[in-house]
A and B are shown apart, each in its own frame.
Chain A
Amino acid sequence: MEAPNLIAAVQALQPDATVRAQSDRPTLIVPAHALVALATRLRDDPALRFDLLETHTAVDWLDEDRLELLYLLTSVPLGHHLTLSVSVDRDAPVVPTLCKVYPIAEWLEREAYDMFGILYDDHPDLRRLFLEDDWVGFPLRKDYEDDFMLERPE
């Protein structure tokens, strides 16, 4: 499905989804509470069939005091792509988990928790993935600092 048709089709399912400007792929901004229901419908709708969660990652927008979660969906049989963007508060980053819809989300969300400290509601096993279990802080946040880091001398 072509990008404009795709956006229209998804907006028919989720009317409050808005198009994110400056995106290479068709990207829709959706509210956090609607995420699981929308992902389930995107996966099961015969015209969309988004059967693959390619990756899930986050962006720390420090100035705007929010974390942007990105879900990159792909339909293998239909060959189209869609990105879902969910924004959460930096201080209380709680979103529902997508594990029930896409099992791969379990580890992708563990990684996002490891690096950004995003808390996934109802996640079965929310532990650190790459860093040590006793690590303090979330290193991919823009304001992360620890004793090990070196500042570049001017």
Chain B
Amino acid sequence: MGVITDNLPGVLEPLPGGSVLVTAVDQLINWSRSNSLWPLTFGTSCCAIEMMMATGAARHDMARFGAEVARPSPRQADLLVIAGTIVKRMAPRLRTLYEQMAEPRYVMATGSCAICGGPFMYHSYTTIRGADEIIPVDVYVPGCPPRPEAFFYGLLTLQKMIREGESIRHPGERRRPVLAALPEGMTLDDIRKEMQDLLSHDANVNMTEAAAEGAHYSAELKDF
């Protein structure tokens, strides 16, 4: 994969219609990356328990988003969910885990402690005030701990970021981190609907739309 993503833009871009092709490849790669986020088995305190219940149990199963394969080895993981307090002794280990993960790698900071130190911000001799002091974070999920819906809202935000923001033209370039706070007035039903829409959208191919898009691409290619 690395060879393809490294060399493909350089080979394709000079060709007639090459940049359209690169965009198409981008879409394919981003789609596959966003739907195969393998999280690292990593948790430091109570948020980790919440995360395990949110991701493993039937009601909020993370498998629906292609993200259920928790990997115990950082070399096979794409997503690092920092769930819980990071203390001074854990910080170098967290950094090592992050550096062992292969690119592209994504980081979600869930819960107050991972965002800013939470209740241990003041008068603490050992709690790191936010995981972003150690490693770059892509999505912040607030809560103490976040509800499962909030966690999934964060995961959906990350998937959106991957789909919209990445290009093999600029490997390693990241989008600015976002705070995936549940918008005010949003209910569980809204999130469930969004999840369902997303899942049905991903699982079904609209042949008419796909044909129209294909026609659009071939029209663009003819211009070159």
Listed in ascending order, the chain A residues whose CB lies under 8 Å from chain B are: 130-132, 139, 144, 146, 148-152
Nearest neighbor of A151 in chain B, beta-carbon distance: B122
B123 contacts the other chain (Cβ, under 8 Å)?
yes
Count of inter-chain pairs, beta carbons less than 8 A? 25
For B87-124 the 0/1 string (1 means CB < 8 A from A) is: 01100000000000000000000000000000001111
User: 22 interchain pairs (CB within 8 A)?
Assistant: A131-B89, A131-B126, A132-B88, A132-B89, A139-B125, A139-B126, A144-B125, A148-B88, A148-B125, A148-B126, A149-B123, A149-B124, A149-B125, A150-B121, A150-B122, A150-B123, A150-B124, A150-B129, A151-B122, A151-B123, A152-B122, A152-B123
Please tell me if the beta carbons of A130 and B89 are within 8 angstroms of each other in the complex.
yes
Listed in ascending order, the chain B residues whose CB lies under 8 Å from chain A are: 88-89, 121-126, 129
CA A130 to CA B88, docked complex, whole Å? 11
Secondary structure call for the A interface: loop
Secondary structure call for the B interface: loop
Report chain B residues within 8 Å CB of A149.
Answer: 122-125
CA A150 to CA B130, docked complex, whole Å? 14
CA A146 to CA B125, docked complex, whole Å? 7
CA A16 to CA B129, docked complex, whole Å? 49
Nearest neighbor of B89 in chain A, beta-carbon distance: A132
CA A27 to CA B118, docked complex, whole Å? 36
Between B89, B124, B126, the greatest number of chain A beta carbons within 10 A of the residue's beta carbon is seen for B126
Contacts A146-B125, A148-B88, A150-B122 supplied; 11 other A-B pairs, CB < 8 Å: A131-B89, A131-B126, A132-B88, A139-B125, A139-B126, A144-B125, A148-B125, A148-B126, A149-B123, A149-B125, A152-B122
Nearest neighbor of A139 in chain B, beta-carbon distance: B125
CA A151 to CA B121, docked complex, whole Å? 9
**Nearest CB of A to B135, in Å:** 19
CA A139 to CA B121, docked complex, whole Å? 15
Report chain A residues within 8 Å CB of B124.
Answer: 149-150
Report chain A residues within 8 Å CB of B122.
Answer: 149-152
**Nearest CB of A to B133, in Å:** 12
CA A103 to CA B122, docked complex, whole Å? 36
**Nearest CB of A to B123, in Å:** 6
Report chain B residues within 8 Å CB of A131.
Answer: 89, 126
Nearest neighbor of B117 in chain A, beta-carbon distance: A150
Report chain B residues within 8 Å CB of A151.
Answer: 122-123
**Nearest CB of B to A62, in Å:** 15
Report chain B residues within 8 Å CB of A152.
Answer: 122-123
CA A144 to CA B121, docked complex, whole Å? 16
**Nearest CB of A to B63, in Å:** 37
Report chain A residues within 8 Å CB of B121.
Answer: 150
CA A28 to CA B121, docked complex, whole Å? 37
